[in-house]
């Protein structure tokens, strides 16, 4: 279940890495990356931090692995960047609610390329 959530998150983060533009679903401003930088970059290191009190501590281990797997196929430029992910809220999917009402997982936080 967490793997499925991470797969969708990876696609969103990958989109942000490559295009510098992603819908955040929140009120925060999304800063766009220069397309030339995005095209010539690769992610050298991935750091995931889970805020205190947030359930889903396993995300700190699983998320870098999944992100690395996806980013290695598309972010292949020569300029190294560091991806800093900070998870501030995580609510896993409830299987019964998914079947009955279409419940989904929620993941909130920030992703910065430095």
| Helix (H), strand (E), coil (C) string for the chain | CHHHHHHHHHHHHHHHHHHCCCCCCCCCCCCCCCHHHHHCEEEEEEEEEECCCCCCCCHHHHHHHHHHHHHHHHCCCCEEEEEEEEEEEEECCCHHHHHHHCCCCEEEEEEEEC
Domain that holds residue 50: 2-20+34-113
**78 inside domain:** yes
**25 inside domain:** no
Tokens of 62: 């699983």
**28 inside domain:** no
**41 inside domain:** yes
| pLDDT over 80 at 16, yes or no | no
| pLDDT over 90 at 82, yes or no | yes
**56 inside domain:** yes
Percent of the chain at pLDDT > 70 equals: 64
The tally of domains found in the chain comes to 1
* Higher per-residue pLDDT: 107 or 2: 107
**105 inside domain:** yes
Q: Which residues contact 35 (CB under 8 A, 6 or more apart)?
A: 19, 20
**70 inside domain:** yes
pLDDT tens sequence across 23-74? 445 556 677 788 888 889 999 999 999 999 888 888 899 999 999 998 888 8
Phi-psi region of 74 (alpha: psi -120 to 50; beta: other; left: phi over 0): alpha
**12 inside domain:** yes
Confidence (pTM): 0.68
């Amino acid at each position: 279940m967490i793997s499925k959530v991470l797969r969708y998150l990876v696609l969103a983060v990958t989109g942000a890495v490559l295009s510098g533009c992603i819908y955040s679903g929140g009120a925060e401003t999304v800063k766009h990356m220069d397309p030339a930088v995005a095209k010539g970059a690769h992610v050298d290191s991935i750091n995931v931090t889970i805020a205190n009190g947030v359930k889903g501590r396993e995300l700190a281990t699983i998320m870098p692995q999944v992100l690395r797997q996806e980013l290695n196929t598309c972010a292949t430029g020569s300029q190294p960047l560091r991806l800093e992910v900070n998870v501030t809220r995580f609510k896993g999917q409830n299987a019964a609610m998914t079947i009955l009402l279409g419940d989904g997982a929620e993941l909130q936080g920030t992703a910065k390329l430095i």
